[in-house]
Amino acid sequence: MGGPESIKHGCKERTERKIAIAIQSAAGLVWAHDRAATQPSFRGACPRTREVQGNGPAIVFLPSLARDSDDYDAVASGLADAGYRVLRPQPRGIGRSRGPMKNISLHDFARDVAEVVTRLGAGRAVLVGHAYGNWVARMTAVDHPQLVRGVVIAAAAAKQYAPELTVAVTKAGDLALPDNERLEALRFAFFAPGNDATVWLTGWHPEVRDSQRAALAAVKQDEWWSGGSAPLLDLQAAQDPFKPATKRNEMKNEFSDRVTLVVIDNASDALIPEQPKAVVDALVEWVSLLP
């Protein structure tokens, strides 16, 4: 970590308006973003880019299982327009983001996030973890509390949920299955009735799914469950089978005034593509009140 050797310069030489800059952590993660520029781009690896959008306090998005950070385009634009700097690291193994994928745990993913916050978030950020990403966000807040202003757990599962949901997640992201079977799984686990589940037929990276699940399994739930001591927004979807109404107050009951609970109607576990404006509004209102 640290010196100039950590910066890898990407893409064959050509003049373009943007330069892809990859940041490599000690663990090997490479994360890319775009910056406006007029000089030639650099030689070497060419990471898939994600823009650093906006200026202001940093907000980091951490995506769902086996999905990429481009799921949050609309929400990122809304937050940038509201005066925030939005960072969207690509998880290990997706695009040109790389690092060990075996014998790892959530602690490794937390170090990756800490690297992004330190280098591009001015050393402090709000973490928005969506579905699987909420576990990474909470682990980061436990391991690196000095970097975390607040934690948003968006469409986070309850402590215990039905095993058939895990099966549905696997089917939804299995590109070898026919679309009708995948759509059935998407509608069961991710999308509220009437919402367009076809938008998630693409965007899956099944090659990282098993590693991400193993990283979660390598850590006891009570190591990350609290999300540290930072303020916490429990951003729920009203029709989310991973957290039904009977579990609505699970976090609030356990952590009391530290938790703010917001429920978004007409959404399930996908949440963000289902109701992007409502998500932006909830985030802006809550983050504006943080110290």
Could you read off the pLDDT of 100-155 as tens digits, one per residue? 999 999 999 999 999 999 999 999 999 999 999 999 999 999 999 999 999 999 99
Question: What is the third-level CATH fold of 51-163+191-287?
Answer: Rossmann fold (3.40.50)
What is the model's pLDDT at position 96?
A: 83
Q: Where are the alpha helices (DSSP H) in the chain?
A: 73-81, 106-120, 132-143, 163-172, 179-189, 209-217, 221-224, 250-255, 276-287
What is residue 224's DSSP assignment? Answer: H
pLDDT band at 256 (very low <50, low <70, confident <90, very high): very high
- Buried residues in 142-154 as b, exposed as e (16+ CB within 10 A): bbbeebbbbbbbb
Task: Specify whether the backbone of 11 is left (phi greater than 0), alpha (psi in -120 to 50) or beta.
Answer: left
Q: What are phi and psi of 222, to 5 degrees?
A: -70, -10
Res 5 pLDDT > 80: no
- How confident is the model over 225-231, as a mean pLDDT? 98
What is the model's pLDDT at position 98?
A: 86
- How confident is the model over 45-74, as a mean pLDDT? 83
What whole-number percentage of the chain has pLDDT above 70? 82
Res 11 pLDDT > 60: no
Res 196 pLDDT > 80: yes
CB 49 within 8 Å of CB 18: yes
DSSP code string of 232-264 = EEEEEETT-TTS-GGGTTHHHHHHGGGEEEEEE
- How confident is the model over 243-257, as a mean pLDDT? 98
pLDDT band at 268 (very low <50, low <70, confident <90, very high): very high
- How confident is the model over 156-180, as a mean pLDDT? 98
What is the model's pLDDT at position 53?
A: 95
Cβ contacts of 178 within 8 Å, gap of 6 or more: none
Res 218 pLDDT > 80: yes
What is the model's pLDDT at position 50?
A: 61
Res 27 pLDDT > 60: no
Res 272 pLDDT > 80: yes
- How confident is the model over 237-249, as a mean pLDDT? 98
- How confident is the model over 72-95, as a mean pLDDT? 96
Res 15 pLDDT > 60: no
- How confident is the model over 228-232, as a mean pLDDT? 98
CA distance 263 to 252: 13
What whole-number percentage of the chain has pLDDT above 90? 81
Stronger pLDDT, 25 or 205, i.e. the higher one: 205
What is the model's pLDDT at position 9?
A: 28
- How confident is the model over 259-281, as a mean pLDDT? 98
pLDDT band at 51 (very low <50, low <70, confident <90, very high): low
Domain boundaries, the chain: 51-163+191-287
CA distance 281 to 57: 16
Question: Whole-number mean pLDDT of the chain?
Answer: 86
